[in-house]
Structure 1
Amino acid sequence: MDNIEKNKKEMLDKKVWAVVGATPNKDKYGYKIWNVLKEHGYIAYPVNPKYEEIEGEKCYPSVEELPEKVDVIDFVVPPKVTKKIIEQADKVGIEYLWFQPGTFDEEIIEKAEKLNKKIVYYDCVLAELTEK
């Protein structure tokens, strides 16, 4: 089993996630991923400085302001935003980072690897959870 598969399995076993780029717009992946995690029994904190809340749940402006340390950050934002959040994640000691398609570039993967993060990329949480 390669590292990505191993990381993916470990991440899906973790129960506390942050969805960076969560949105109240039900047509967007930021909403769908946040929602599918909750439907599957995960604690999923929405992170997006544009919103105060999503469906009555407090939405946090950054991962540094979450009420507890999450196990996994799922990225649903453009690469330039992802880059900033990796630093926040490192500051608060979050080890697992899941990059949705379109949220990363080579520089981001290199940076995450340099910081010794366990990462998944090219895979979609939504696809993983809805296939089960």
Structure 2
Amino acid sequence: MQSAARLFFTSTHYSVAGASSVPSKFGHRIFAWYLSQNLPAIPLNPTCSSITVRRNEFETVASPSLLKDPKNTSLSVVTPPSVTAKLLREAKSAGVKAVWLQPGSFGQEEMQYARKAFPGAAIGGFDDGTVGGEGWCVLVDGETYMSGNKDGKL
């Protein structure tokens, strides 16, 4: 997972599937985290045309296939497992570089598919180095691996 997390942050673009305008939702918090890290992030949400985060409005895309540069995009997934399964297939088909499955966004089947479809570029679960009690989460582990620190420690 550590090498996948480092690879995730070599992208030039990021997208958050399940991004939301609702501050209490993790899709909102995770999208806001990307903004706070000055990373170019695109909200992915098929149910609305835009979201508002930090009083700024961001146009959404409805599907990974609509990302401008999927081959250079890493995707954070904050959707229910039933949505995640379809989303991962779309992301693979679009050529998305790497995926980060946030806690609660997957079951065993979705994680197995992600690891197979994105070899060495799928993050999720509890394996290999997370410091989060709920598993690999960009809010907890992201900054460590974004910095390129080889040993995964601050």
Q: Give TM-score scaled by structure 2 length.
A: 0.76
Return the match for 1:114 from 106, 113, 116: 116
Larger mean Cα displacement after TM superposition, 67-76 or 18-27? 67-76
Please say if 1:5 is aligned against 2:2. Answer: yes
- How far is the alpha carbon of 1:129 from its aligned partner? 4.3
Q: Distance between the aligned counterparts of 1:119 and 1:111, measured in 2? A: 10
- Counterpart CA distance in 2 for 1:74 and 1:40 is 14
Q: What residue identity is the alignment partner of 2:90?
A: Q
Is the aligned partner of 1:126 residue 2:132? no
Structure 1: which 4+ aligned runs deviate by more than 3 Å? 129-132
Q: Deviations over 1:54-96 (max 9, x none)?
A: 1221111111112332421100000010000111111111131
Q: CA deviation at 1:116?
A: 3.8
Gaps of 5+ in 1: none
Counterpart CA distance in 2 for 1:88 and 1:71 is: 13
Aligned counterparts of 2:44 and 2:25: Cα–Cα separation in 1: 14
1:67 is matched with 68
Tell me, what secondary structure is at the counterpart of 1:45? strand
RMSD: 1.7
Query: 1:24 maps to what in 2?
Result: 21
1:52 paired residue among 25, 38, 49: 49
TM-score normalised over the length of structure 1: 0.88
Q: Which ranges of structure 2 fall in alignment gaps of 5 or more residues?
A: 125-134, 145-153
Offset at residue 130 of structure 1 (A): 6.2
